Amino acid sequence: MCGIVGILGKTSTDVANALVTGLKRLEYRGYDSAGMALLSQGSFHRHRASGKLVNLEALQAEVPLVGNVGIAHTRWATHGIPNETNAHPHMTERVAIVHNGIIENHEEFRPALLSAGVQFKSETDTEVILHLVDQALMQGLAPVDAVRKTLEKIKGAYALALLFREHPDVMIGARHGPPLAVGYGQDEMYLGSDATALAHLTHRLSYLEDGDIVVLTSRSVETLRLSGERVQRPVREHRVSQTIADKGAFAHFMAKEIHEQPETIRQTLGTYLNDAKSGLQHPDLPFSWHDTPRVTIVACGTSYYAGLVAKYWFESIARLPVEIDIASEFRYRTPPLPKDGVAIFISQSGETADTLAAQAYAKAQGQHCLAIVNVPESSLARAADCVFMTYAGTEIGVASTKAFTTQLSVLAVLAIAAAQARQTISQGDFQNFCKALAQLPALMDEVLICEQECREIAYQLTKAHDILYLGRGTSYAIAMEGALKLKEISYIHAEGYAAGELKHGPIALIDDAVPVIAIAPSDALFEKTASNVQEVIARKGQVILISDEEGHKKFSHPHIRRLVLPSTSSCCILSPVLYSVPVQLLAYYTALIKGTDVDQPRNLAKSVTVE
Ligand code: AGP
């Protein structure tokens, strides 16, 4: 997703360098071009470049931009191809702008702007905002009024930063949808997409709310609503590491983050398991599980698959009915939700536009809204009734790994806590579940031993054009997650399917060119999945069976490639977390062999802040 950095400084020695550093801290979000504009000696000076930030840095090295006020942007293309012309900032001689979001009604303003003599230079929707503000300035409006008048007309999502040639000590920000933070410095003020973007400049931030406009000078902050009403937003300390995460000894962030999982699960569970590892502790809930008629789980992508695993857990352990949906469908389906229902929103970034919209709908329907997020000050967290944090640390790889398994860890805590509160499990079972959770970090360490085997199997997968993942129960969700991992970083088509559905159509796909990855811990459903694998073998499909020793003993065949994982003693809490690792590694090594951009795959963004 796009990234924004703005600096309004009296004391910043090198604003251009600080802007680029901020963009580097936002690289993990995914982008395809970048740019910056500084205001000095009464005019704007700009560099823009398609591709990676190194290209922008080369321009700055060649012709250094100077000045103590500037805005910068990394663009993830929505309207217009990723090239220099469409890169932000966009400018007229009076105003410069950077934008994250999508303006839905931008076309309706073009005819009037064209007849007013505007010459559009890009294909972007952002340029319409630029010219609407510019026209208002030319009519004599002050900057804040020109921005307000424009924002009253447009529809869609935006986080904006604007500079004004005739007002060198003013920077204006505005937000509706994608987040925007105000940073407080020493006689300096900043705008940034999040705390990470500004961590090298300040830890003191306030976040704008939807519909806010902020007018900054180097010594003042004025926040107002579109109506003109003045508001205050709390300033908080945000302890985000100043150092840009590095890969350490790993070739990619994704590899590092896969290997961090034992520790991130240890960190996360350390918050929710008591010291004796025989009980749970978590934030107070604004509801009683006992009185909860139903749980609704809503998320996108990998976070949705975490929710799907949790559906099985809530239903089987806590006997709680669960409805789950992807946020982009849920928000427009506008489903009736039960009184006193609990809605759980899962999001690594906490900024996914569809998930935020779904949360707003559920709140309006009177649901108790829980957020499971990895970013504490994210929009989803700030709008929730209760926040359950994952402690995965910043996840740089666009393909989510450690965030996913820490989401599962937190969801397991919630399901066990709900079961205890509803007395659907005995005290002994409760303690066994807590002990099982406590084993997870060590078991995750053990699972990583399958890495070499995954690297070898990857050679087989790179030759395929279609790959099927099969599973039952929680393994069905892991099958879909595994397919998503593979397709999003290796660009090979893959599908996750409920193993029992194979004969209802997908079996027609099977031939000797199709690898089928069966995810089958030796649990109560193992034999059922094994018979599906037999059907694949009978049709000469290439089978990779991921199971434990017991499972491989129960079912073996000369045509099966085996991946052996530790036994999970058929504890339904452990296997989805453990079986995530081989599917992550298979995707990683397949992508590595294919030579794709593992950490920033094409067309993808780490945080999808537009719908
Ligand atoms: C996961 O590997 C993908 N990058 C993507 O599906 C992601 O899970 C999805 O966009 C949801 O993101 P969120 O968890 O930040 O809401």
Q: What does the DSSP assignment read for 451-465?
A: HHHHHHHHHHHHT-S
Mean pLDDT of 299-315: 98
CA angle 157, 323, 293 (to 5 degrees): 115
CB-ligand 1 contact for 301 (6 Å cutoff): yes
**Does residue 347 or residue 248 have the better pLDDT?**
347
Are 187 and 316 found together in one domain? no
Q: CB of 378 closer than 6 A to ligand 1? A: no
Does any ligand 1 atom lie closer than 6 A to the CB of residue 354? Answer: no
Q: Residue length, the chain?
A: 611
Residue 242 belongs to some domain of the structure: no
Evaluate if residue 353 carries a pLDDT over 80.
yes
- Are residue 7 and residue 148 in the same domain, yes or no? yes
Classify residue 444: in a domain, yes or no.
Answer: no
546 and 420 co-located in one domain: no
Tell whether 463 and 517 lie within a shared domain: yes
Tell me whether residue 443 is in a domain: no
If asked whether residues 480 and 576 sit together in one domain, one would say yes
> Which atom in ligand 1 lies closest to the alpha carbon of residue 399?
2
On whether the CB atoms of residues 341 and 315 are closer than 8 A, the answer is no
In a domain, 82, yes or no: yes
- 390 alpha carbon – ligand 1 mean position (Å): 14
Domain boundary among 204, 237, 270: 237
Q: Is residue 416 part of a domain?
A: yes
Cβ neighbours, 10 Å, residue 387: 18
Give the domain range for residue 63: 3-237
Give 218-281 as a DSSP string: TTEEEEEETTS-EE----EE----SSPP--TTSSSHHHHHHHTHHHHHHHHHHHHB-TTSSSB-
Q: Are residues 405 and 499 in the same domain?
A: no
Q: Is the CB of 113 under 6 A from ligand 1?
A: no
Rounded CA separation 490/513 (Å)? 17
Paired sense of beta strands 33-40 and 560-565, if any: unpaired
Question: Would 243 be classed as within a structural domain?
Answer: no
C-alpha 217 – ligand 1 centre gap (Å): 36
Question: Which CATH number goes with the domain that contains 458?
Answer: 3.40.50.10490
Residue 607: CB within 6 Å of ligand 1? yes
Pocket test for ligand 1, best of 76, 196, 252, 300 (most atoms within 8 A of CB): 300
* Counted domains in the chain: 3
Task: Using the 3D structure, point to which of 189, 209, 237 is the last residue of a domain.
Answer: 237
Indicate if 577 and 479 belong to the same structural domain.
yes
Residue range 410-446, pLDDT digits in tens: 999 999 999 999 999 999 999 999 999 999 999 999 9
Residues 382 and 424 in one domain: yes
606 is catalytic: yes
User: Which ligand 1 atom is at minimum distance from the Cα of 349?
Assistant: 15
- 193-229: per-residue pLDDT in tens? 988 899 899 999 999 999 999 999 988 899 999 988 9
Same domain, 69 and 203: yes
Active site residue 454: no
Closest CA to 153 of 91, 201, 110: 110
The domain that holds 222 is classified in CATH as 3.60.20.10
Please indicate, yes or no, whether residues 7 and 52 belong to a single structural domain of this protein.
Answer: yes
* Residues 485-544 pLDDT 10s: 999 999 999 999 999 999 999 999 999 999 999 999 999 999 999 999 999 999 999 999
Domain end call among 210, 237, 264: 237
Residue 241 clears pLDDT 70, i.e. is over it: no
Both tokens of 299, joined, read 């998320």
- 396 is a domain residue: yes
Regarding whether 467 and 326 lie in a shared domain, the answer is no
The answer to the question of residue 15 being in a domain is yes
Indicate whether 532 and 392 sit together in one domain: no
